[in-house]
Structure 1
Amino acid sequence: MGNAESSEGRRVSFGMDEERVRVLQGIRLSEDVVNRMKDSSQPLKAQQPAPPSSACGSQKESRPPRSEDSSGQEPLSQEDLLRRYEQEQAIIRDNLFQREREAAIKHLKVSLQKEESVTDQEKQKSTQLTAEMYKLSLQQFHEAASKMESTLQPRRVEPVCTGLQAQILRCYRENLQEVLLCSDLVKAYQRCVSAAREG
């Protein structure tokens, strides 16, 4: 798209029509360029032969007369100029599309990097918050456990009905073959235990 790139290898031709420069294919020329083109074409206008007219009177497209430039090469026709213009436009469109595509890819990469950075920061914050919550929960648990331990007093367990228990054991030892003889003592022991639970 630079000047050096677009001007190399191109020839610009123009036609003169009653002292006015005809602009081809929508190319806008500055006044300075138009004046230079007029000045350079004045000697050529006098040398140009009149275009041949058709004898049958058919109306064909009039083409601007071809004139040789300073290098001796014949300038391009309007069809060639149009074809070359369309090719150059296609190349320019391809270049623009490629640049837009590269810019979009670059923008996507930058956006992805920003998203990854934000995601990493969020993960770090989440991990830190989780660790802090765990520490706080553990501390609160230990404080609650300590309070409960201080409010609870350990129970002192004292045996109940110890006299009956000793009598039952003695009865079983003495009557190994006839343990049913100790059943009255066992019933008395059960009543004593039930009374101790209720009281």
Structure 2
Amino acid sequence: LTLFVCVIGDKLCSVNISLNFLLIAVSDEELKKRIAEELALERARRDSEAQKRRLARQLEEKDRELKKHDAYYKEQLARLEERSAQFYKVTTEQYQKAADEVSARFKRYESHPICGELQDKILQCYREHAQETLSCSALASQYLNCVNHAKQVSWACSH
């Protein structure tokens, strides 16, 4: 509040001028500034919200794309596993067939020692009489006769 004194004619008068006008002018400037700040904040908030929505849409799109790829690769994996199982089955069957053919073609040859008992006795005799090998000649002769006899029996059976 300001007080002015003035003279009008011969009268002295005082005039009170309110500061409201000045306050209004100052308040108007401050109000404009605050409104501009609020508008800027609101614009920034809207931009931020729009950015969030845009990023959320992109994220959803990426998620759909990843799910699509996941399904595709799971399908491919299932196909490969099926093909692998089929290949394994065919390979196993072919291997078994080949093994059966080989077994049928080539009978297992079983050999049994001929005159094994005499052979063991001769070897033991040679160990015991390393310096006197002639003392084992009777056993060696028996062994030779046994082997020759086995050859004759084997030859007769094969013809």
Q: TM-score, normalised by structure 1?
A: 0.41
Tell me the TM-score normalized by structure 2. Answer: 0.50
Where relative contact order (Cα < 8 A, 6+ residues apart) is larger, the structure is 1
Structure that is richer in helix per residue: 2
Which of the two has higher C-alpha Rg? Answer: 2
